[in-house]
Structure 1
């Protein structure tokens, strides 16, 4: 059961300069819709480069400005290393999976 205001974006395949534009549009639509929390699920992502990361950072800043949150879950090894190398693992809330995210969210209320 999703909490009101929580949107989940499931990504798949490769997130690079060719696909990060679509990701940006999806996130912007959710932000405009008034999503309070967006969870980006990386379970089916095989690879992400810096342009994908840049898109997430932009969305993160936009959401933070409107008092909303962006969280991330289910990173594979390559994506996790990208987050760690850029210290973005310190910026984003990263969860092992969706269940863990929802549990934490429920515990906060």
Structure 2
């Protein structure tokens, strides 16, 4: 299977409004044929419960399209939130885009 990778760099606060935008963007990315999506959260400084829900929805959108979603560059605050909510078990996370490229491109 040919990899069609899209990297989406998010910033600021991931809340209900931004979460709805994220769902829309992910749907468009799938429609454009991407089967691997990397969400780079380097510039995200806060995620609320709506934002977490949007991340789960984004993963579900990718799965329904037989795609995969990954996350990279999460801050300590976001990492703590992921651990508290067990999201760290759901999302495969990478330290940064370089680590993602090394592991995903070399294993495919």
**TM-score normalised by structure 1 residue count:** 0.91
Structure 2 distance, partners of 1:33, 1:86, is 31
Following superposition, the deviation at residue 4 of structure 1 comes to 4.5
Q: What is aligned with 1:44?
A: 43
Match of residue 96 from structure 2: 97
- Cα distance between partner residues in 1 of 2:52 and 2:19: 9
The total of aligned residue pairs comes to 107
Q: Gaps (5+ residues) in structure 1?
A: none
For residue 56 of structure 1, what is the aligned residue in structure 2?
Answer: 55
Partner of 1:6: 5
Relative to the length of structure 2, the TM-score reads 0.92
Q: Match of 1:69?
A: 68
* RMSD value, Cα: 1.3
After TM superposition, where is structure 1 displaced by more than 6 Å over at least 4 residues in a row? none
**Distance in 2, Cα, partners of 1:56 & 1:32:** 18
1:73-84 counterparts in 2 under 5 A?
A: 73-84=72-83
Question: What runs of 5+ residues in structure 2 fail to find an aligned partner?
Answer: none
Task: Report what 1:18 is aligned to.
Answer: 17
